[in-house]
């Protein structure tokens, strides 16, 4: 399967109308360097997660109202095989599970962490929990109000609003190892909803290339390989080496989702990552842009710099800011 992830936006034209003569010519519109020449897509990272608890229908709805082109649900699997929207397998940071005495005995070790794990809960049990804002420096007033949605709940919302989705399958290798392979359920949902084609209003992302390669053999839905700097796990590797080589990605995926650290070097110069990916026909959707982190960052300037590189989409916790800056350009 080889299809290019194309922007859902059509080209924007700037038209100036006036009954009075003008003394100076109108300024030229920004020329977008994306694969299709359309403005960069704004992807609501976990919904409008900078303002509401992440991965809730309310956070996705707010992002849609703010004008996001795409909403992004992370997907994990329940004990009874349902794909639900959570960023992590563990539940303590994004739900009120620790306050529920009936689930106290579910807390257990997994790897290096003791927590409550999504694969130990049925969907019905998860539905009794409520979502929380995991970042202490963000608004906590909406905690314990919103449900955990299923993937299909999110697709229903997106279809009704006419926006795309870009789900990320989290830790598929782990789920396969415990007998909860997310691939068959994901494929079933996409096929039943007509989202298994190259022009589907969705694309699937993952950090595990083996999973995307398996998915590539099953459906034609566009695929996005997520990558990070290899230096994060191997200090001896150069800071601009992605965790999966772009040439390898091009053999099974349609786009790449890089850490933004791979696009601009320590001196602020363009690393050439976007141009290299585009030369291979890969769309580029970097992550993650946040108004509040780090605290001293000039968010508008950062977004303008990244937009100017020609990225095809950006992941942001604050869609309204990304849209405002894009519109200004």
Active site residues: 45, 87
Question: Rounded distance, CA 164 to CA 143, Å?
Answer: 27
What is the DSSP code (8-state) at residue 238? -
* Count of Cβ atoms closer than 10 Å to residue 60 Cβ: 30
Helix crossing, 57-66 with 319-328: angle to 10°?
Answer: 10
H/E run at residue 227: strand 223-227
* Count of Cβ atoms closer than 10 Å to residue 228 Cβ: 17
Three-state SS string across 142-193, please?
CCCCCCCCEHHHHHHHHHHHCCEECCEECCHHHHHHCCCCHHHHHHHHHHHC
Distance of CA 73 to the CA centre of its chain: 7
Nearest to 219 by CA among 205, 249, 198, 193: 198
C-alpha distances in angstroms, 53 versus 100, 123, 133, 321?
19, 19, 4, 18
């Amino acid at each position: 399967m080889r299809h290019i992830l194309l922007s859902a936006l059509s080209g924007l034209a700037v038209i100036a109308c006036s009954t009075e003569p003008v003394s100076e010519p109108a300024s030229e519109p920004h020329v977008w360097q994306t694969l299709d020449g359309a403005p960069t897509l704004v992807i609501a990272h976990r919904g409008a997660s900078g303002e509401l608890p992440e991965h809730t229908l309310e956070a996705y709805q707010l992002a849609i109202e703010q004008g996001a082109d795409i909403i992004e649900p992370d997907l994990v699997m329940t004990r009874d095989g349902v794909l639900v929207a959570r960023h992590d397998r563990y539940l303590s940071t994004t739900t009120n599970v620790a306050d529920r005495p009936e689930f106290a005995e579910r807390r257990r070790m997994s790897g290096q962490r003791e927590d409550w794990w999504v694969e130990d809960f049925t969907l019905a049990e998860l539905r009794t929990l409520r979502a929380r804002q995991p970042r202490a420096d963000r608004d906590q007033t909406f905690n314990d109000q919103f449900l955990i949605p299923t993937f299909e709940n999110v697709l229903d919302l997106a279809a009704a609003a006419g926006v795309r989705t870009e789900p990320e399958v989290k830790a598929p290798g782990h789920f396969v190892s415990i007998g909860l392979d997310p691939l068959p359920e994901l494929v079933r949902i996409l096929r039943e909803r007509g989202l298994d084609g190259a022009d589907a209003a969705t694309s699937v992302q993952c950090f595990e290339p083996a999973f995307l390669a398996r998915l590539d053999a099953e459906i034609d839905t566009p695929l996005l390989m997520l990558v990070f700097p290899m230096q994060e796990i191997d200090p001896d590797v150069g800071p601009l080496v992605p965790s999966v080589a772009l040439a390898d990605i091009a053999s099974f995926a349609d786009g790449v989702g890089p850490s933004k650290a791979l696009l601009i070097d320590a001196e602020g110069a363009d690393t050439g990552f976007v141009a290299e990916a585009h030369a291979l026909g890969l769309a580029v959707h970097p992550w993650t842009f946040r108004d509040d982190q780090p605290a001293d960052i000039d968010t508008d300037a950062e977004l303008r710099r990244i937009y100017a590189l020609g990225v095809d989409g950006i992941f942001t916790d604050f869609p309204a800011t990304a849209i405002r800056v894009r519109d200004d350009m």
